[in-house]
A and B are shown apart, each in its own frame.
Chain A
Amino acid sequence: QVQLVQSGAELKKPGSSVKVSCKASGGTFTTYTIAWVRQAPGQGLEWMGRIIPIHDITKYAQKFQGRFTITADKSASTAYMELSSLTSEDTAIYFCAREDVMIPIETAAFDSWGQGTMVIVSS
């Protein structure tokens, strides 16, 4: 069973950037895809993007293009998401999740999730 452990909560100023990590254990990091999903307070789930670490291929939701970057450190079995130009609307819990696929054209439901990282954007 793959386990995903995320970094801790962040308090950021408007206009700044935040970087959140997601460390995987219990499986082979290069055999699956990591996605990022966020959830604003009391709201639903929003897919932000994904990375296939073995290929370093990323795909982003159009809404976040240009200010959102996902990277992966295969040696550390860790994925990262960085969101820049933060506004109060980016205040949310950010989750990483696993898709058990490793080919770009393939997709899968999210069978493992990180515990979530709260990011608060406030002056």
Chain B
Amino acid sequence: EIVLTQSPGTLSLSPGERATLSCRASQIFSSSYLAWYQQKPGQPPRLLIYGASIRATGIPDRFSGSGSGTDFTLTISRLEPEDFAVYFCQQYDSSLPYTFGQGTKLEIK
């Protein structure tokens, strides 16, 4: 099973700043199978990025993903008030099970 470790656990930033979230895997897998989700309280997760770097439909271009191998990054170029939420990475490699990182909480400083 691929274990995903996200860092930091909590990130405190102000609107307009740049956010960089990390996701590290316990073993190499194809970047084609790495996704990022945003979750707000009381809501289901929302797909932001799939294939490590492809924005999902309707996702603003201030969200970008990168990485390969075991290290992946989600970057939010300029934080908007609605971006403060919890972010999860997920691997969906064909060698099940799928796994998620434990999440990074992005909070307003």
A46, chain B: closest CB distance, angstroms: 7
Residues 67-92 of B, flagged 1 when their CB comes within 8 A of A and 0 if not, give: 00000000000000000000010101
State whether B44 touches A44 (Cβ < 8 A).
no
State whether B92 touches A116 (Cβ < 8 A).
no
State whether B102 touches A113 (Cβ < 8 A).
no
| A61 CA to B1 CA, complexed, in Å | 10
State whether A47 touches B44 (Cβ < 8 A).
no
State whether A111 touches B47 (Cβ < 8 A).
yes
Which of B56, B98, B103 touches A47 (beta carbons < 8 Å)?
A: B98
- In the complex, whether B35 has a CB less than 8 A from a CB of chain A is yes
Residues of chain B within 8 A of A113, CB atoms compared: 44-46
Residues of chain A within 8 A of B96, CB atoms compared: 59, 61, 107
| A105 CA to B33 CA, complexed, in Å | 13
- In the complex, whether A109 has a CB less than 8 A from a CB of chain B is yes
- In the complex, whether A62 has a CB less than 8 A from a CB of chain B is yes
Residues of chain A within 8 A of B57, CB atoms compared: 111
A107, chain B: closest CB distance, angstroms: 5
Residues of chain B within 8 A of A53, CB atoms compared: none
B40, chain A: closest CB distance, angstroms: 12
Q: Known contacts being A59-B96, A111-B56, is A116 close to B44, with CB within 8 Å?
A: yes
- What band does the interface of chain A fall in when counting residues whose beta carbon is under 8 Å from B? 20 to 34
- In the complex, whether A17 has a CB less than 8 A from a CB of chain B is no
Residues of chain B within 8 A of A106, CB atoms compared: 94
Residues of chain B within 8 A of A44, CB atoms compared: 88, 100-103
Residues 82-123 of A, flagged 1 when their CB comes within 8 A of B and 0 if not, give: 000000000000010101000001111111011110000000
Chain A residues in contact with chain B, CB under 8 A? 35, 44-47, 59, 61-62, 95, 97, 99, 105-111, 113-116
Chain B residues in contact with chain A, CB under 8 A? 33, 35, 37, 44-47, 50-51, 56-57, 88, 90, 92-94, 96-103
Can you name 21 A-B residue pairings with CB atoms under 8 Å? A35-B98, A44-B102, A45-B45, A45-B103, A47-B98, A47-B99, A59-B96, A61-B97, A62-B97, A95-B44, A95-B45, A106-B94, A107-B33, A107-B93, A107-B94, A107-B98, A109-B90, A110-B90, A111-B56, A113-B45, A116-B44
